[in-house]
Amino acid sequence: MADVARRNVSVLTPVYNSVKPVEPVRERKSVGKEVTLEHDIRDRGEMERILEQLAVQVERRLVELGITGKTLTLKVRWSTFELVTRATSCAWGFQLAQEMLPVLRSMLSGLDEDKRAVRLLGVIVSGLISPDETHRARLVVTPSLWQDEHVEA
């Protein structure tokens, strides 16, 4: 460090000016929204209303980016600061709030332990895929075990 301090500033200026700023190009891994509540809540209906608002905001961003995500995660922080997450995946992905809400409600009901107070709620969509990949996944048809088989007599 002392060596740098002894150098003439005019010698260091060209070196410093030639350094380019780092511009990281990172691939987006998820889209999510969370909210820390002003007051801890215990009311399940209020939690579901908040999750709906968060899901709509996540949907808006996913649509804006033109992507979907295979994994939907519910994030809950209890009033004790204990953090719990629950996630589920879907081959064709999640993009619309109306697709996310039934799954989020189900995950939330699985956590409804003695009406514990909640401090934070979050909705995250990850495992992001392009529209082309989503379209291909929706085209995959799973044969039904209950389809009529044509048997020749």
* Structural domain includes residue 12: no
Q: Could you list the residue range(s) of the whole structural domain that residue 63 is in?
A: 44-139
What's at 49, amino acid-wise? R
Q: Where are the beta strands (DSSP E) in the chain?
A: 30-41, 68-78, 83-94, 118-129
1 part of a folded domain: no
Residue 75's CATH number? 3.30.1490.100
Q: Would residue 129 be called left, alpha or beta, if left means φ above 0 and alpha means ψ between -120 and 50 degrees? A: beta
Per-position pLDDT tens, the chain of length 153: 555 556 665 555 555 555 666 666 777 899 999 999 999 999 999 999 999 999 999 999 999 999 999 999 999 999 999 999 999 999 889 999 999 999 999 999 998 666 789 999 999 999 999 766 665 655 554 555 555 544 444
Please state the domain count of the chain. 1
